[in-house]
Amino acid sequence: MMIKPPASNGKTRRVRKAGLVVFCLGLLLGVLALSLPGLDSGIAHAAELADTGADTATYQPAPKLTAADYPTIKGVNSRIAVWLAAQLHLWFAAFVLAVPIFVFIIEAIGMGTRDKRYDNMAYEFIKVSITAYSFTAILGGLLTFLLVLFYPHLFQYMSSIFKESMFYYALLFFLESATLYLYYYGWHWLQGGFRKWVHLSLGLLLNAVGTLLMFLANAWVTFMMSPAGVDPAGVFSGDAWAAIHNFLWNPINIHRVIANIAYGGSIVGAYAAFKFLSARKSEQRAHYDWMGYNANFIAISALLPLPFAGYYLTAEIYAYSQQMGITLMGGVFAWLFIIQAVLIGTLFLSANYYLWCGMGRSDGAVRYHKYIKYLAIVIVGAFLVWFTPHTLVLTNEELKALGGPYHKYLGPLGIMPAKNTAVNIMILFTTLSFIFYRRANKVATVSWASAGNAIQIALFTAGILNIFFLGVYHGYFTNTVYKVAASIPQVLTTLTIIVTSTAIDAFMYRGAKQVAPLHWGRVSDRSQYALFLLAVAFTWLMGLMGYIRSGIRQHWHVTNVFRDASPDAFTPGLGYAANVVSVGTILFMAMVIFVFWIADVSSRKTAADAYWKTPPA
């Protein structure tokens, strides 16, 4: 990584300068594109003016439907069909949107370090996503068809409100496709100096357009959850920006951007793991090991802040409607969060395991082996606390033995303060795993190394004590108001420790001595399964959370405005939802395998000289 760029002479400097200008132009364009929603509202405003001029009563209230208004096809469950299509579309879209984000970053790193390996890796990432891109489009089309087929009134109502954004959404896809193809097919053409800058700008534009597309689609989804710009009967006010900029739009936007990055990282990690397992040559193994490591790094970096984005989203759901918040966290869905805890715990465990296994790449890591078991004890322990449910499932005998359903010692672990404390500890120790991994191969040479170490130890100790104090004191010895309030200083403590200790580490290990060479590719096959576990658990988890995001609307198409009168309006139970999600995950995996296989086939060649006529001399 530390390869010095070649000394630049006057010419390259000039070229780079020109490149920078193009890059900045690209940045400007990106910002412009991002501000398009504003533009959109302008257009909507104009459209509204035109409307009011011609006819004021253009907008109808949300229709009141009966079961007969929903077309059916024999043998097809319309709700499950739409559910699967939407979920598959979302999985692919998340992947396709995420990959350009970190391809852009990796390409930039490659440009900064002039390390060709980064460029090759970025290219391979984008290559994987290109087939996935067409799958996204196909599934999006399928979803639209299914909606028009099975829920025509809903689709008509939605499109009457979002007519502008849907129209520009469709048009934007031309720009997205053009940029993506240019970015991918022009990769080898746009190399070196100025051209590389142009290429990087294309990457930025690609990301800007992709993000904008997602934001628009998010607006439709969040409108269904927290409608704005319509009156209680569902009559649209004509202000498209109000409908787009509804209450949950921004929380979902933030949550999805971060989650997409983590998800994209995990899928690419699975790809690298598979290539690693099937690689025959040692340099191939080294390459895919390195790629898998980087993908995992991206996934984990995005995973760490994700719980906080989730808290923000939940808080906003509560703020929008207490009723929706209580539906989300209590009653029927309460057990969903136990499943979620199990899944997220699985993600953390497998990510840590991958890091520990990765220490085998260096002989210097032996120094840290003895600490791993303590990390494991704390992480598993925190995880056990995290998924201890509030309501325990007891057999009758246990009920009798306990004298009631309340457990004196496990009961307190079931409530939020304990869980907040546990998740913060888990995040901190995952960070510690990563710090150990980074140090495995190095010995700090700076004069203040021991002082730096002491500071870091003090920082972690103080932070953990603070988190414990906040959790235990505010959680159990003050009233309810403080219970929830304590989670914010806890999160701030965690973030402070992560940022500070990473910064100290970066300075301390600048110019550090390598203990032993780092052998990329010297890692067990077992560790690669941790990457698969990460990808599968992530996919399944996204499916589950998709179900609850949609499920908390209960029997409404558009919350409190447009009632779902179809026979499928009921809220499905958790087992039912888990089965649909599992089927969806398997379908998605099958498609992803096809995508990976296609990416592989494109580089294969079969020599069939005897087949073709030899051209006449």
Partner 1 sequence: MKIPRLLQAVGVIVGIYAGFVLVFDYLLGQVIPSSLLSMYMFFVIAGVFMVYTFTEESARELVAPIKALVEDPSKKRIRNVVFILIPLLVAGFTYQRMSPSFEAPVELRSIHPAPPATVKAYGKRYDLATLKNPFRKYEKAKPEKFRELVREGGDIYIQNCQYCHGDKLDGRGPYAAGLNPTPLNFQDVGTIAQLQESFLFWRIATGGPGLPKEAAPWISSMPVWQDFLTEEEIWKVILFLYDYTGRRPRSWEHE
Partner 2 sequence: MRNFLKVLCFSLLVIGLFAGYSNYGIPQIEPAPPPVEEKLELGAMTMDKFIALGERLYNGKGTCTLCHNPTGGRAPQLESAATVASERMQDSRYQGTASTVVEYLYESMVEPSAYVVAGFGKAGSNDSESPMPDVSAGGIGLSDAELKAIIAYLQDLAGTDVTVSIPTDAAPAEAEEKTAEPPPAPRAALDTPDALIAKFTCGACHKVAGQVGAIGPDLTTIGATRDKAYLRRSLLDPNADVAEGFMAGMMPNIYGTQMSAAELEMLVDYLAGLK
Q: Can you give the binding site for partner 1, defined by CB under 8 A?
A: 342, 345, 349, 352-353, 356-357, 359-360, 369, 372-373, 376-377, 379-380, 383-384, 387-389, 391-410, 524, 526
Of residues 302, 319, 318, the one with CA closest to residue 256: 302
- For residue 613, give the amino acid letter: K
Which residues have a Cβ under 8 Å from the Cβ of 487 and sit 6 or more positions away?
Answer: 311, 416, 417, 420
- Toward partner 1, which CB reaches closer, 63 or 360? 360
- Supply φ then ψ for residue 511, to 5 degrees: 65, 25
Task: Report if residue 415 touches partner 2, rule: CB under 8 A.
Answer: no
If contact means CB under 5 to 8 A according to the sort of partner, which of partner 2, partner 1, none does residue 561 touch?
partner 2
- Toward partner 2, which CB reaches closer, 112 or 232? 232
Which residues have a Cβ under 8 Å from the Cβ of 542 and sit 6 or more positions away?
Answer: 90, 91, 94, 259, 263
The DSSP secondary-structure symbol of 72 reads -
If contact means CB under 5 to 8 A according to the sort of partner, which of partner 1, partner 2, none does residue 277 touch?
partner 2
- Toward partner 1, which CB reaches closer, 379 or 498? 379
> Whole-angstrom Cα distance, residue 592 to residue 267?
9
E runs forming strands in 466-525 = 513-514
Instruction: Choose which of 22, 178, 254, 342 interacts with partner 2 (CB under 8 A).
Output: 342
- Toward partner 2, which CB reaches closer, 77 or 340? 340
- Toward partner 2, which CB reaches closer, 284 or 571? 571
Instruction: Choose which of 462, 586, 594, 602 interacts with partner 2 (CB under 8 A).
Output: 586
Of residues 340, 357, 274, the one with CA closest to residue 535: 274
- Toward partner 1, which CB reaches closer, 236 or 436? 436
- Toward partner 2, which CB reaches closer, 192 or 525? 525
Bridge-based pairing state of the strands 562-563 and 556-558 = antiparallel
If contact means CB under 5 to 8 A according to the sort of partner, which of partner 1, partner 2, none does residue 397 touch?
partner 1
Task: Report if residue 529 touches partner 2, rule: CB under 8 A.
Answer: yes
Query: In the stretch 538-557, what mask flags binding to partner 2 with x, by CB under 8 A?
Result: --x-------------xxx-
Q: Count Cα neighbours of 173 within 13 Å in the Cβ-side half-sphere.
A: 14
Q: Which of residues 264-283 bind partner 2 (CB under 8 A)?
A: 274, 277-278
> Whole-angstrom Cα distance, residue 107 to residue 247?
36
If contact means CB under 5 to 8 A according to the sort of partner, which of partner 1, partner 2, none does residue 61 touch?
none
- Toward partner 1, which CB reaches closer, 392 or 565? 392
Structural tokens at position 198 = 């142009």
- Inter-axis angle of helices 36-54 and 163-185, nearest 10: 150
> Whole-angstrom Cα distance, residue 387 to residue 336?
11
If contact means CB under 5 to 8 A according to the sort of partner, which of partner 2, partner 1, none does residue 536 touch?
partner 2
* Enclosing H/E stretch for 1: none
Q: Which of residues 320-339 bind partner 2 (CB under 8 A)?
A: 321-323, 326, 331-332, 335, 338-339
Structural tokens at position 106 = 């990796």
Smallest gap from residue 354 Cβ to partner 2 (A): 15
> Whole-angstrom Cα distance, residue 188 to residue 126?
13
> Whole-angstrom Cα distance, residue 592 to residue 586?
10
- Toward partner 2, which CB reaches closer, 186 or 325? 325
Bridge-based pairing state of the strands 556-558 and 513-514 = unpaired
Instruction: Choose which of 343, 423, 444, 467 interacts with partner 2 (CB under 8 A).
Output: 343
Compute the residue count for the chain.
Answer: 617
Q: Which of residues 556-575 bind partner 2 (CB under 8 A)?
A: 556, 559-561, 564, 569-575
Smallest gap from residue 508 Cβ to partner 1 (A): 25
- Inter-axis angle of helices 249-278 and 306-320, nearest 10: 150
33, 209 in Cβ contact below 8 A?
yes
Task: Report if residue 524 touches partner 2, rule: CB under 8 A.
Answer: no
Site residues (vs partner 2, CB under 8 A): 232-233, 274, 277-278, 319, 321-323, 326, 331-332, 335, 338-339, 342-343, 389, 393, 480, 529, 532-533, 536-537, 540, 554-556, 559-561, 564, 569-575, 577-579, 581-582, 585-586, 589
